[in-house]
Amino acid sequence: MKLNLSNLRFLRTRKSFISQTRTMTNNTDPNPDPSQVLDDLPCSERQQRDEQIEETVEAAPLSLGLGSPGRLLGIDTRVERAWAHWKKLGRPKYIVAPMVDNSELPFRLLCQKYGAQAAYTPMLHSRIFSETEKYRNQEFTTCKEDRPLFVQFCANDPDTLLKAAKRVEPYCDYVDINLGCPQRIARRGNYGAFLMDNLPLVKSLVEKLSQNLSVPVSCKIRIFPKLEDTLNYAKMLEDAGCSLLAVHGRTRDEKDGKKFRADWSAIKEVKNALRIPVLANGNVRCIEDVDSCIEETGVEGVLSAETLLENPAVFAGFRTAEWAKGSEEEEGYVDGGLDQGDLVVEYLKLCEKHPVPWRMIRSHVHKMLGDWFRVHPQVREQLNAQNILTFEFLYGLVDQLKELGGRVPLYKKRKLNTLELPESPQKSLES
């Protein structure tokens, strides 16, 4: 059955995530940066979006057999149904983590093309989402290919969270509660990892959703400094009705992923202590890290965030030069025939089909072309100075970088029994 536009108003793209953070803090900047204001505009007109939504989005509520909302189920039944649902989704191993402004629909689809098997939306603020149509239109877009999908909310009020969750329930495979955000805005807003100080409230959030939704509830957490506290936390979430738990192996205070290694041993202990599916997050630089994490922890799947921003083809086995040439098996990696400029072009084409705010596009272009910009900083300055972005300008930016010479290739493992490898069409910047 095809959805009509009235049912899909909240799927359209309009306003900036900047409004979210300002609303949370009740502090409107009287002198906003001009490029931010212009980047707030969507990359296509509303009429185009409406036509695309009519053509691509179909109603897809998933029948989960979870029973009527509000029905209290025993732990054995809930665990059985949690696994049945996960298996029905194909037990995805490679998952795009939730990233504010960076795990939007076009980027999820790009990662999916290169091996991602499921994805989270960016974190949505439950109160603003439930109260503000413009925010809903801006922050949640999807299409029929965008599955399996976790829709993530931050919240500190069970009723408000449920009201927001009900709006996305037909269009996702899990409603996820963000219990792991360690940023200052989460402290000010009393959500994310700062709810670790109020476990009764956390329990009430999970219970409210699990007893009133027809889709499963998942949670994403960080670990406590003490393993015992982490295990008690995870068990409480399972008892409250969580059907899947994603564990970031760093504490709330360990914000810098480059400085602090994720504790896979703690994730393993959580996995062994729970009966529901468990996912891991942290220390993923390449596909081999994903496989190692699954082997060491026993989890069902692994989330990647920062690594995907630079290299959306991680799950297809591609590495950036940093991780290919810095590995112990350096000689085993060759130019994979794909570079970051190619990925930017693919991403831009997806944005033309599924419009998003320009601020998101600008952010992804900066991250995917970061290595190239370090070689040609004058091109980066052109991007920074461009207040009004267009697709023509961004395609031209990639062409300009290529004309300046060289490539920024992504690398893959050398195939066994390969006697001769094709030469790269252009000299790489790393050579």
Q: How many residues in total does the chain contain?
A: 431
Cis ω on the peptide bond leading into residue 409 (within 30° of 0)?
no
Cα separation, 72 vs 94, whole angstroms? 32
Collapse the DSSP code of 123 into the 3-class scheme (helix H, G, I; strand E, B; otherwise coil) and give the result.
coil
267 membership: H or E segment, kind and range:
helix 264-273
Euclidean distance between CA atoms 91 and 88, whole angstroms: 7
Look up residue 26 and give its two tokens. 């009740």
Q: What is the CA radius of gyration of the chain?
A: 22
Q: Are strands 333-339 and 409-413 parallel, antiparallel or unpaired?
A: antiparallel
Separation of first and last alpha carbons in the chain: 54
Name the catalytic one among 111, 143, 172, 181: 181
Query: Active-site residue 181, yes or no?
Result: yes
Residue 302 phi, psi dihedral angles, 5° rounding:
-135, 135
Instruction: Give the type of residue at 215.
Output: V
Which DSSP letter does residue 425 get? S
CA pair distance 138, 343, nearest whole angstrom? 24
Q: What is the C-alpha to C-alpha distance for residues 202 and 211, in angstroms, rounded to an integer? A: 14
Residues labelled catalytic: 181
